[in-house]
Amino acid sequence: MNSQLRRATGTALAAALGVTALAACGGQSEDSGSGTGGASKTVTLVSHDSFAASDAVLKEFTRQTGYTVKVLKSGDAGAALNKEILTKGSPQGDVFFGVDNTLLSRALGNDLFTPYEAKGLDQVTDEARLDADKHRVTPVDTGDICVNYDKKFFADKKLAPPKTFADLAKPEYKNLLVVENPATSSPGLGFLLGSVGAFGESGWQDYWKKLKANGVKVVDGWEQAYNEEFSGSAGGKKAGADRPLVVSYASSPPVEVLYADPQPKEAPTGVATGTCFRQIEFAGLLKGARNEAGGKALLDFLITKTFQEDMPLTMFVNPVVEGAKLPELFTEHGVVVDKPETVAPGTIAENREQWVRSWSSLVLK
């Protein structure tokens, strides 16, 4: 499974502490990074399982800086963050990648990062610079959590696919939607936050009551929702899935094209662009990093066009650097989400756990 889609299997909240297996990948020098900071030629990046970069790009970083990147993958984003909180002050590595705007306040509240203003930050879009005053984290990418639809199903039924959050509660879409549990899934949490953004803190609960009455199906994670329940995915077709609407990503249609054999001229899935929530991912220099100089060099590199233009077909996310080019496959089969829903990180921090508890009480009873 490709990395953009792998991101969605993670447990964002309650189950995060249970998944902390580490897997090392990427090049390593003879110096494992266990020595003192300045002497080490290895810089260690701690990440969720979805981090990916092409070998050529990692070699270019080494050519430019002399540092070799070692990647330690720590499960999903929630698990990886929890591990860094538990090892605060004695981190596994030098840089942490993958905390997003839904969990950013938790990372900052635990004082995990040494402030550093990365070179080239002035080229990053204003939208992505949520910590611009203190520079504790560096924006790296954005992605949109959106409802995807099975084009063939709606064409066969001569039914227009939904466009907005409100549409999903209409009778014509009864028993068609599958979503992920926000207590155990990153896209599930993002979709819940999107509904808060769309209907406000006073209206999202009534909205979910309508979705429940309209037959929404809830599963634990993205893997099950997309590859087993969604009729538009390659896996869903093989499994005989019967749900033509699923919470996934705006970048999922290009993935369906890229990994199909033969590749179709048109993506078999579409995106309901009025159902999207914008995720922003960050990286930061970990306090106690053994190779602080290498960590700073890596943060600089993550927002170069070399790295930014590699991400769309390795992690299936969008660059944050202005002027970074998107590959043709991405632009041809992806969608542009002009007005995704957002919720301020501080508001998320204050309400996230209560919102998830309320959602569970409303929807899972």
Per residue in 106-115, pLDDT (tens digit) is 899 999 999 9
In percent, the amount of the chain with pLDDT more than 90 equals 76
Average pLDDT of span 12-29: 33
Show me where the domains of the chain are located: 3-142+280-332, 144-278+340-363
pLDDT number for residue 16: 32
Query: What CATH class is the domain 144-278+340-363?
Result: alpha beta
Least confident of 22-36, 222-236, 344-358: 22-36
Fold match between 3-142+280-332 and 144-278+340-363?
yes
pLDDT number for residue 35: 38
Instruction: Report how far apart, in Å, the C-alpha atoms of 248 and of each of 185, 232, 317, 354 are.
Output: 11, 12, 13, 24
The model's confidence at residue 128, banded by pLDDT at 50, 70 and 90, is very high
CATH placement of domain 3-142+280-332 = 3.40.190.10
Summarised one tens digit per residue, pLDDT across range 171-200 is 999 999 999 999 888 889 999 999 999 999
pLDDT number for residue 223: 87
Average pLDDT of span 322-348: 91
Which among 5-14, 103-112, 165-174 has the top mean pLDDT?
A: 165-174
